């Protein structure tokens, strides 16, 4: 059983911020910033690509609700809401979860950078991604 399933089953203790029949939200043990929270479905799905719509929706609704609450109650200036999917994207726990990371300034402990890279042919990329 994965570590988040053990947390959901109360076999491993955690700081529960929110719980309903489908979703659990806990404080991330690493607290990148104060209030860093993880929202996860109670059903084990590996990541967003493998999640059914109902499971993804339940998580996103909860993440939205909690992001608002966390920003209001911590006085954060902003928030990052993100899910890592796959090892290349930094996923270390293979049970879907959304990070809610309140941001207090652009110099706090997290950096998300969009660095310039290889120029893309937008028409070709768009044609690839658009529905026929
Ligand atoms: P990711 O790298 O997106 O898979 O994130 C996994 C997150 O789970 C990390 O930020 C960890 O700090 C967090 N984490 C791992 N074990 C625990 C735990 N027992 N309780 C709370 N958070 C945890
Ligand atoms: Zn699991």
- CATH number, domain at 89? 3.30.428.10
Q: How many domains does the chain have?
A: 1
Query: Could you tell me the residue range of the domain that residue 27 belongs to?
Result: 3-129
User: Tens digit of pLDDT per residue, the chain (132 long)?
Assistant: 999 999 999 999 999 999 999 999 999 999 999 999 999 999 999 999 999 999 999 999 999 999 999 999 999 999 999 999 999 999 999 999 999 999 999 899 999 999 999 999 999 999 999 998
- Ligand 1 pocket (Cβ < 6 Å) reads 3, 12, 14, 26, 28-30, 38, 84, 90-93
> What pTM did the predictor assign?
0.97
Report the separation in Å between the CA atom of 42 and the middle of ligand 1, taken as the mean of its atom positions. Answer: 15
Report the separation in Å between the CA atom of 95 and the middle of ligand 2, taken as the mean of its atom positions. Answer: 5
The long-range contacts involving 74-82, CB below 8 angstroms and separated by at least 24 positions, are: 74/34, 74/35, 74/102, 76/33, 76/35, 76/102, 76/103, 76/104, 77/103, 77/104, 77/105, 78/102, 78/103, 79/103, 80/110, 80/112
């Amino acid at each position: 059983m994965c570590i988040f399933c053990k947390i959901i089953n109360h076999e491993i203790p955690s700081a529960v911020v929110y719980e309903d029949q489908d979703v659990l939200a806990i404080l991330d043990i690493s607290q990148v910033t104060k209030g860093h929270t993880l929202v996860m479905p109670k059903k084990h799905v590996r990541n967003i690509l493998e999640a059914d719509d109902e499971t993804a929706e339940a998580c996103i609704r909860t993440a939205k609700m909690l992001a608002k609450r966390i920003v209001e109650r911590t006085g954060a200036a902003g928030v990052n809401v993100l899910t890592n999917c796959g090892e290349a994207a930094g996923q270390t726990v293979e049970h879907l979860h959304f990070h809610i990371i309140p941001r207090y300034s652009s110099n706090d402990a997290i950096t998300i950078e969009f660095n310039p890279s290889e120029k893309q042919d937008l028409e070709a990329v768009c044609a690839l991604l658009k529905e026929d």
